Amino acid sequence: MKLHGFRIELGEVEAALAAHPAVGEAAVLMREDEPGHPRLVGYLVPSTVDADAVRRMLPLDTEDRTIELPGDVTAWVANRSEAEFMAEEIFGDQVYLRGGIQLPDRACVFDVGANVGLFSLFVAQKSADAQVFAFEPMPPLQKLLRRNLRIHGVDAQVLPYALGAQPGTAAFSYYPHATVLSGRYADAAAETAVVRSLFSRQLGETGAVVDELLAERLRTESYDCEVRTLSDVIVEQGIEHIDLLKIDVEKSEAEVLAGLRDEHYAMIDQLVVEVHDDDGRLAQITKLLESHGYRTTAERDPQLAGTDLYNVYATRLQPLPERTASKGKRLAQPDEAARGREGVVGADAARVRGADGLAAA
């Protein structure tokens, strides 16, 4: 057949499309949706081998919000603006690889306060064959977290509860428009300062413009969430070694550490803890980690200048290049099935030790 004066063999076009390794099947036909305006249209089915992530995306709601991450990774998010902020922190600034922190291949990583899983995706890119335990108590975020880990073939368990000093149930505040601030100890004044800093950086605005945005962004919802201790999870999951424990739990960091028994610190090589420096908490947590043999450094996030937020880096590892750096991997490789399963652990009570007065009942 002819199109715009050129003779076209549909079978040849189909064969050319099907030759691409990401294409499983191809079909081409001539369509004339508008009279007098014919066009050539191709239909493709993604390969089950080389385009597995694309196949998993097809049944999903295309109206959901997404962002693009390095490595051609699409992530489903609750809000694009805050997700882009998190992505810049994690992939751009690489805040979790500062202070001597390393991600070896086959790393076991605890992502406490996983949100929608951007850090877990970062781990999978940096550490080949990593295993991630992603903790997220907020039901609206769990759906997105599971989707991101499953779509991109991350070897991960989603653990749908919070960590604290002792097991139980607690009320958590969820910010639909600022999910990174969600947590057990909501503080309107502190949250306002964080979001104001974010808006001022992103929009270049101050004063009334930011105040108007804050009123909508800081609307809250309440959820009753299960709380477990970190030591309980370590025992029940049969964990013998943790390469990196990342904690970002909005003012609950002291309680998470209070739920970690002394004997379990020995199996953790490194920690990155976001600390809200209220009432000397930064010094307390630094002292606690140093008492367990870690070298520590503390840095303020460059994107959150003017807040009381710090990242505490704690490690026992030798600095690079004495250790071999991970080669990492590309996400959603062939034959890498995502488990994305919901972790289920028992309810045995653990002895909870409060360290340096940090635990809150």
- Nearest CA among 92, 161, 151, 94 for reference residue 117: 151
3-state secondary structure 189-250: HHHHHHHHHHHHHHHCCCCHHHHHHHHHHCCCEEEEEEEECHHHHHHHCCCCCECEEEECCC
Query: Which residues neighbour 108 within 8 Å (Cβ) at sequence distance 6 or greater?
Result: 130, 131, 133, 239, 241, 242, 243, 244
Predicted pLDDT of residue 21? 75
Chunked into runs of 10 residues, the chain (361 residues) has average pLDDT values of 71 77 73 74 68 48 77 93 92 95 97 98 97 97 97 96 97 88 73 60 54 66 96 98 96 96 97 93 97 96 75 90 48 41 33 34 30
Q: Which domains, from first to last, does the chain contain?
A: 2-50 (3.30.300.30), 67-169+224-342 (3.40.50.150)
Q: Which residue has the tokens 């109206």?
A: 63
pLDDT at residue 253, as a whole number: 96
Q: How far apart are CA 59 and CA 166, in angstroms?
A: 40
Ramachandran assignment for 332, one of left (phi > 0), alpha (psi -120 to 50 degrees), beta (any other): left
Q: Closest by alpha carbon to 178, among 144, 141, 146? A: 141
- What is the number of helices (H) and of strands (E) in the chain? 11, 17
Candidates 153, 160, 66; CA nearest to 113 is: 160
Q: For residues 229 and 257, what is the distance between their CA atoms, to the nearest angstrom?
A: 9
Token pair listed for 291: 């008492």
What is the sign, positive or negative, of the torsion defined by CA atoms of 107, 110, 116, 119? negative
pLDDT at residue 343 in the model? 36
**Residue 325 is which amino acid?**
A
The predicted pLDDT at position 30 comes to 67
